[in-house]
Amino acid sequence: MGRAAAFFESKGTHAIGIGTFGPIDVNLKSESYGFITNTPKPYWSGFNVVDYLKRHLEVPVGFDTDVNAAALGEAIWGAAKGLNSCLYMTVGTGIGAGACVEGQLVHGLTHPEMGHIIVRRHPDDAYEGGCPFHKDCLEGLASGPAIENRWKMKAFNLEASHFAWELEAYYLAQALLNFILILSPEKIIIGGGVMKQTQLFPLIQQRLDTLLNGYIQHPALAKGNANYIVQPSLGDNAGLTGALALADRALQG
């Protein structure tokens, strides 16, 4: 954090936007606003990111989760531009998702933790799950580390025809079904390192078609529609651009 603050000190910075791993406190009225809370990442729990940067840079700070930031970036400049809502999910070292509805990021008691929902276990999957809190939640079964632990090799080393990808689609499609039924987003964008395996997109779509079973009638959810669940138009810069949007909102007050 010291190096980050030092980097910006001489840049004429007017505002900072932060899209960070969580869990975090995004409630402006909370005494712990700006804190990283109960994260499994070593040394970060209880650290007040917002206060640190405000003290060192004396500029407004926008603060949200990395996936909410990415959702905002894609809503303003990316795959969901011109739509009223979208959901951004990342599948990589962890799994998380953020949502933007009518230009506003979804918050509640805290912020969405969609990577830790419970999904049905595949009958041929014996892996116990790798989440330190919940074992076999979505992140515990379908994140990059879960794939590596299950198959004893990095995800990018697995062949496109490997059963791992059918298994991955099985879990991710269940998650998307839940998100569609609860939030009804107009576009779903999936990024992260695991999703660079582009063969996953049609597998997820096929599995989702089966799970929906025609229940929701909408052209976006028509069987085989490849324009509803997409890669981020902003690529790996989705979170970065969203953080810029958070900075701009903080500057505008």
**What was the pLDDT predicted at 110?**
87
CATH number of 79-231: 3.30.420.40
**What was the pLDDT predicted at 22?**
87
Q: Is the pLDDT of residue 223 over 90?
A: no
Enter the tokens of residue 192: 């992260």
On the 0-12 / 13-18 / 19+ scale of CB atoms within 10 A, 64 is buried
**What was the pLDDT predicted at 161?**
93
Q: How far apart are CA 148 and CA 182, in angstroms?
A: 31
pTM of the predicted protein model = 0.94
State the SS3 of the chain: CHHHHHHHHCCCCCCEEEEECCCECCCCCCCCCCEECCCCCCCCCCEEHHHHHHHHHCCCEEEEEHHHHHHHHHHHHCCCCCCCEEEEEEECCCEEEEEEECCEECCCCCCCCHHHCECCCCCCCCCCCCECCCECEHHHHHCHHHHHHHHCCCHHHCCCCCHHHHHHHHHHHHHHHHHHHHHCCCCEEEECHHHHCCCHHHHHHHHHHHHHCCCCCCHHHCCCCCCCEECCCCHHHHHHHHHHHHHHHHHHC
Handedness of CA 38, 119, 195, 235 (dihedral sign): negative
**What was the pLDDT predicted at 184?**
96
Q: How far apart are CA 84 and CA 72, in angstroms?
A: 11
Q: Is the pLDDT of residue 144 over 90?
A: yes
On the 0-12 / 13-18 / 19+ scale of CB atoms within 10 A, 116 is middle
The full set of domain ranges for the chain reads 2-65+237-252, 79-231
What percent of the chain has pLDDT above 70?
100
**What was the pLDDT predicted at 253?**
84
Q: Is the pLDDT of residue 16 over 90?
A: yes
| Least confident window among 8-12, 85-89, 230-234 | 8-12
Mean pLDDT across 190-206: 95
In Å, how far from its chain's centre is CA 157? Answer: 23
Kindly report, residue by residue over 93-132, the tens digit of the pLDDT: 999 999 999 989 999 888 989 999 999 999 999 999 999 8
Kindly report, residue by residue over 146-187, the tens digit of the pLDDT: 999 999 999 989 999 999 999 999 999 999 999 999 999 999
What percent of the chain has pLDDT above 90?
91
In this structure, how many other beta carbons lie within 10 angstroms of the beta carbon of residue 139? 28
**What was the pLDDT predicted at 38?**
86
Kindly report, residue by residue over 19-50, the tens digit of the pLDDT: 999 899 999 999 999 999 988 788 999 999 99
